[in-house]
Amino acid sequence: MEQTIFDIAIDRRSPTPLFRQIHAALSTSIVDGRLPAGARLPASRALAEQLHLSRTVVVAAYEQLLAEGYATGRIGSGTYVAPDLPERPRGRALVVKARGAMGYAAPRLAGKVDVTLQGDDRPFNLGRTLIDQRTFDQWRRLNARALRAMPKSHLGYGDPRGSVELRGAIAAYLGSARGVRCDAEQIIVTSGTQHALDLVVRVLLPVGSEAWVEDPGYPLTREVLAAGGVATRPLRVDAQGIDVAAGVAAAPRARAAFITPSHQFPTGVVLSMARRLELIAWASASDAWIVEDDYASEFRYGGRPLAALQGLDTAERTIYIGTLNKALFPGLRAGYLVVPEPLLPAFVTTRYLMDRQPPALQQEVLAEFITDGHLSSHIRRMRTRYRDQRDHLVAALQRRAGDRLDVERPDQGMHLVAHLRPGLSDAAIERTALANGVVVRALSKLYVKAKPRQGLLLGFSGYPAAAIAGAAGRLAALLQRPRLLS
Ligand SMILES: Cc1ncc(COP(=O)(O)O)c(C=O)c1O
């Protein structure tokens, strides 16, 4: 039942204690000026009677208002709204003020990321993974063991870079699996690529500076640069990867190049050796940085994974970013940066100011998972599985939609690109497919300045063959609809 007096609505069924409800109503009225400075509040006994509450409840609310400085006086002999509160603007003015108070990036970023799609698990969403029973069991066992032991080291503060055990395990893994040259001192554990990109922008790129990005490219890299006030220079991607010569000609003074050399997102192109060397030469000559996003490089199906660019760079201009959110699962939120030694103090301090350090429990589990060899063996098993899923998807699309799509069989990664036959619109297909329970991403939306190609991105890593067959069938059926023409 609700009763109103003096603008106070009491809800007896609410989990909020009654004294808090009274306090909230009165303090809000004081802040927005409905109860002016110096006004006398009703006597606690009278208010209690009118609200049919015990007086102790009202007294508790008044005591809180007195303690917080909203009111002065003494309960029993008169409680008043504090006389020295500044006048408040009313209504709309407050809203405008609140807007003005937002961080400088907020207006530019509002609405940029579609978080509803992030949660969508339906085929063929990108970046989803599978874990098998073996990994599931090992992961649970290591977690249970760490929780049971709960050593003192889990309870306090630690190294902002992450635990020495985890950094050591990552350094050994990177040396053998990715050809990255580093020791544990240079590693900073992050919550994944996104966190690492954000750190790089904060530490290395002043507001108003410029950075090269791939075109087409990863939108979240562009967004994090925009959030940091950095201008992006999109450079065309061709069969050899990002066009370095075009960057040198058009924006030689850029501070950094953000690239995905092992498996360009979204095209899947590998950056050629000639371009790698060109890029390193430009970065060394102009004191610029190469930011290497080495996502999903573990999953190469036609041979051994290609070595990372960082291992080639003797000039130490490369910041390497790796993620475990693809090798294991996105909900893990774990990744790392490998930073040239001279940059370490700035990176470590910045990380510390952001969130101090990574969580201790997860680090212990991950360190053991990697050192016990479970990560490498998980990757080997998933490589076989994802390759089979890729083949299923390619075969299903060729069989059922071969007249509409040119499907590329990628040698690497977790998604494929299907180019559309002339006349079809990828954005229209994306919309219609989503309404029909199939997630595809329009390739053309990932272009900035370069001439967009019409195509669909389909993630295959997160879905078993049966799910792939069903969704591919639905997609093929809707591709026959005439409305999807551009
Ligand atoms: C180009 C690229 N880099 C990195 C990632 C991984 O991001 P995170 O580690 O933040 O999950 C993705 C995931 O989709 C990606 O597409």
Structural domains present in the chain = 2-81 (1.10.10.10), 155-372 (3.40.640.10), 378-484 (3.90.1150.10)
Give bridge partners of residue 235 from the DSSP assignment. Answer: 214
Closest residue by Cα to residue 178 from 283, 280, 295: 295
When mean pLDDT is compared over 11-15, 73-77, 92-96, 284-288, the highest value belongs to 284-288
- The pLDDT-based confidence of 114 (bands split at 50, 70, 90) is low
What is the DSSP secondary structure assignment for residue 181, as one 8-state letter?
Answer: -
Question: What is the rounded CA–CA span in Å between residue 51 and residue 19?
Answer: 12
> What number of helices (H) and strands (E) belong to the chain?
18, 16
Ligand 1 atom closest to Cα of 335? 9
Span 252-265, pLDDT tens digits: 999 999 999 999 99
417 beta partners: 457
**Cβ < 6 Å from ligand 1: which residues?**
126-127, 192-194, 218, 260, 265, 293, 295, 323, 325-326, 330, 335
Q: Which atom of ligand 1 is nearest to the CA of 192?
A: 9
- pLDDT tens-digit readout, 41-55: 999 999 999 999 999
Q: Over 50: is that where the pLDDT of 318 sits? A: yes
> CB neighbours of 144 closer than 8 A, spacing ≥ 6?
none
Angle (CA) 397 460 177, round 5°: 135
Q: What is the pTM for the complete model shown?
A: 0.85
- What is the number of residues in the chain? 486
Q: Residue 124, preceding bond cis, omega within 30 degrees?
A: yes
Nearest CA to 456 among 442, 472, 476, 439?
442
- At residue 85, the pLDDT reads 79
**What's the rounded Cα separation, in Å, for the pair 446 and 266?**
8
Element of type H or E holding 38 = none
Q: Which residues pair with 57 in a beta bridge?
A: none
Rounded distance between C-alpha atoms, residue 247 and residue 234, angstroms: 9
Alpha carbon distance 419, 403 (integer Å): 11
Residue whose CA lies nearest to ligand 1 atom number 12: 295
Asked if residues 282 and 318 have their Cβ atoms less than 8 Å apart, the reply is no
Q: Is the pLDDT of residue 99 over 50?
A: no
> Could you tell me the distance, in angstroms and rounded to a whole number, from the CA of residue 40 to the centre of ligand 1?
59
pLDDT attached to residue 8: 83
pLDDT in tens, 165-195: 999 999 999 999 999 999 999 999 999 999 9
The answer to whether residue 98 scores a pLDDT higher than 80 is no
